[in-house]
Amino acid sequence: MNGIEITHENMDAAEASIPKNTPFLMLNLLRFKDQASYGPDEDFEPSSGREAYFKRYIPAFMELSASKLEIQPFFLGKVLAGLVLGEDEDWEICALISYPDFQSFKAIVGSEAYKLKALPHRLAALADLRLMAAVEADLE
């Protein structure tokens, strides 16, 4: 299954699963397109998917999340090898992002500003994406 869209159903399910006002980490697994593919109405210089993501999407996302100072990258890494993966699970980057609560994440990605300033770059840049929200486990 390839996908880069966050659906309303997935957003609602995540919101129901994560307790309100609970900090969490979002695991991001990313695979880039060789060339960013913008729609015909978009006027951006040609770039690789990786460049579109890191030079356009990330700055736009950070600008939109600036008022939510608790949103912080926790880890960003280049995937070197996959030890146990599905057949189409060839990830390039993994990232852990710390959020103060799910409502902060939802407010950003649900905003009109995100849809105008950041989303076009994410859609143009990524060939595939996985997002998984996690809270600290109670191991008792």
Is 3 among the domain residues? no
Is 75 among the domain residues? yes
Is 14 among the domain residues? no
Class of residue 83 by CB neighbours under 10 A (exposed 0-12, middle 13-18, buried 19+)? exposed
Q: Which residue is it, tokens 């307790």?
A: 19
Is 4 among the domain residues? no
Class of residue 18 by CB neighbours under 10 A (exposed 0-12, middle 13-18, buried 19+)? buried
Determine the structural domain holding residue 101 and report its residue range. 21-134
**What sign results for the dihedral spanned by CA atoms 106, 110, 113, 115?**
positive
CATH code, domain with 126 = 3.30.70.100
pLDDT (0 to 100) of residue 1? 45
pLDDT (0 to 100) of residue 110? 92
Is 53 among the domain residues? yes
How do beta strands 126-134 and 24-32 pair? antiparallel
Return averaged pLDDT per consecutive 10 residues of the chain, 140 residues in all. 78 91 94 94 91 96 82 88 81 95 92 95 95 87
Tell me the per-residue pLDDT of 6-38, one tens digit each, with 9 for 90 and over.
888 989 999 999 999 999 999 999 999 999 999
Overall number of domains in the chain: 1
In whole angstroms, give the CA distance from residue 15 to residue 115.
20
Is 41 among the domain residues? yes
Is 12 among the domain residues? no
pLDDT (0 to 100) of residue 4? 79
Count of CB atoms within 10 A of residue 120's CB? 20
Q: Which phi and psi (to 5°) does residue 14 adopt?
A: -65, -45
pLDDT (0 to 100) of residue 2? 59
pLDDT (0 to 100) of residue 129? 94
Is 6 among the domain residues? no
